[in-house]
Amino acid sequence: KSGFVAIVGRPNVGKSTFLNRVVGQKVAIMSDKAQTTRNKIQGIYTTNESQIVFLDTPGIHKPQNKLDEYMDQAALSSLQEVEAVLFMVSAIETRGAGDNYIIDQLKKVKTPVYLIINKIDEVDPNQLLPIMDTYKKAYPWAEVFPISALKGNNVDQLLDSLVKIL
Ligand code: GDP
Ligand code: MG
């Protein structure tokens, strides 16, 4: 079993951290600064039975000019060609315009979307359910997965779930 999975999300939500953990080697630059990851970077998760090729997709953001618009179209069409999209958000930041824009874009694709709420190591367990609820309301079709890319919480469960849909 093998397939492609795209990762989208605003800068700094933890996409590169997740990729580095899953792929087991550094494939993307990690930084506190926004937009460090300039290119679509592929990392491959491999087990005995399966292989997932992850695509880091930094191109989805609100278009500012014609070139941006073109890039967004390219990013959007690449999302049609993968088996699943991981839409990553941060549990420690409130949902913003950037997240809402991506949600609107994802509504245009038929690909299954996993809403990954990252950085749960930083939130009180009691706060997690309300956070999950607000995202479920905004995007009811997505499967919601709270994880910590940094500490590894729930990452194996997410990978198992992805492998099942390949
Ligand atoms: P990207 O821009 O989406 O690729 O985000 P990065 O992977 O570069 O992460 C941005 C910052 O968030 C870095 O300082 C990471 O160490 C931190 N970070 C990523 N994942 C987690 C997590 O699960 N928990 C915590 N506490 N910090 C995280
Ligand atoms: Mg990155």
8 Å CB contact between 12 and 18: no
Extents of the domains making up the chain: 2-117+130-165
| Architecture of the domain spanning 2-117+130-165 | 3-Layer(aba) Sandwich (3.40)
> What is the pLDDT, as a whole number, of residue 126?
93
Q: Tell me, what's the ipTM? A: 0.99
Residues annotated within a binding site for GTP: 9-16, 56-60, 118-121
Any ligand 1 atom below 6 A from CB of 20: no
Q: Tell me: pLDDT of 30 over 60.
A: no
CA 103 remoteness from chain centre: 12
Residue 21, token pair as written in the block: 């953990």
Any ligand 1 atom below 6 A from CB of 61: no
User: Who contacts 17 (Cβ-Cβ below 8 Å, separation ≥6)?
Assistant: 30, 118, 149, 150
8 Å CB contact between 109 and 139: no
- Chain mean pLDDT for the chain: 84
Any ligand 1 atom below 6 A from CB of 27: no
| pLDDT band, very low/low/confident/very high, at 35 (cuts 50, 70, 90) | very low
Distances in Å between the Cα of 8 and the Cα atoms of 5, 41, 113 are 10, 12, 10
Cα angle 123-33-147, degrees, rounded to a multiple of 5: 30
Q: By C-alpha distance, which of 121, 111, 120 is closest to 142?
A: 111
Q: Compute the 3-state secondary structure of the chain and give helix, strand, coil in percent, each to the nearest 5.
A: 35, 20, 40
> What is the pLDDT, as a whole number, of residue 42?
63
Task: Name which residue leads in pLDDT, 45 or 59.
Answer: 45
Q: By C-alpha distance, which of 31, 28, 17, 50 is closest to 121?
A: 17
User: Who contacts 41 (Cβ-Cβ below 8 Å, separation ≥6)?
Assistant: 19, 27, 28, 55, 56
8 Å CB contact between 98 and 61: yes
Interval 110-140: pLDDT, tens: 999 999 999 999 999 999 999 999 888 988 8
Query: What's this model's pTM, rounded to 2 decimal places?
Result: 0.87
CA of 18 from ligand 2 middle (Å) equals: 9
Quote the percentage of the chain above a pLDDT of 90: 37
Interval 58-116: pLDDT, tens: 667 777 788 777 767 777 888 888 999 999 999 999 888 888 888 888 998 999 999 99
Span 4-22, mean pLDDT?
Answer: 89
